[in-house]
Each structure stands twice: as structure tokens, then as C-alpha cells.
Amino acid sequence: MTTATQALGALHDPTRRRVLELMRSGERSVRELTDELDISQPAVSQHLRVLREAELVAVRPQGARRLYRINPDGLSAVRAWVDSFWDDALGAFADHASKETSP
């Protein structure tokens, strides 16, 4: 499975999207995320595992805790996949426009 496919699959879940939104401002511990979400700590850890496997988040140990942050490379794969549709649409538009202006 490609990184973009894994990432899109992981982002299908609204809780995982919320976890990413919470990390927009920087690193977060599992405890900090649990305090913001209406789910248990084991559930937060499970969501983080899926996000990590999809390469959307990275983890850094700090003493006894682990800090999670958004992995820009994983998001870049999703963006490249979405951009490929835009490239196709622009190409189709350019083809159509050139046919319209041809005599």
C-alpha cells in the first residue's frame, strides 16, 4: 500500500483527523491529547499507532513520555495525491481551451 493510500485510510476516521488538528500547534503527549478528546487513553494510543503507521505523525521520547507531532512528509504524500487530480483537471482544461481556439 502506498503512503498516500495508507494516510487517506487513516484520515477516514474523524477522531484521527481531530488528533492531527490538535497537533497543528506543536507536539502533544498522549495525556494532552486524551484531555482534549472524549475517549480513553488506550483509544488515543491506538489512533496514534494508526497515524504513525500511515506516516502522518512522528514520535519522540522525552523521559517517561512520548511526544507526537505531525510528520510533514506524510502529509506531503497526501497533498501530492490530491494535486495529481488538479493537474489532470488543468490538463483537460488546457486541451479543451486549445480546441476551442483552433480554426
**Least reliable range by pLDDT among 27-31, 62-66, 86-90:** 86-90
Between 27 and 95, where is the model more confident?
Answer: 27
What pLDDT score was predicted for residue 2?
59
- pLDDT of 29 strictly over 90: yes
Judge contact between 45 and 63, C-beta under 8 A: no
Kindly report, residue by residue over 48-85, the tens digit of the pLDDT: 999 999 999 999 999 999 999 999 988 888 888 888 87
Strands of 14-85, DSSP E: 28-29, 57-62, 65-70
- Global pTM? 0.79
CATH code of the region 3-101: 1.10.10.10
How many C-beta neighbours within 10 Å does residue 7 have? 24
What is the mean pLDDT of the segment spanning 11-37?
Answer: 96
Return the domain boundaries, the chain. 3-101
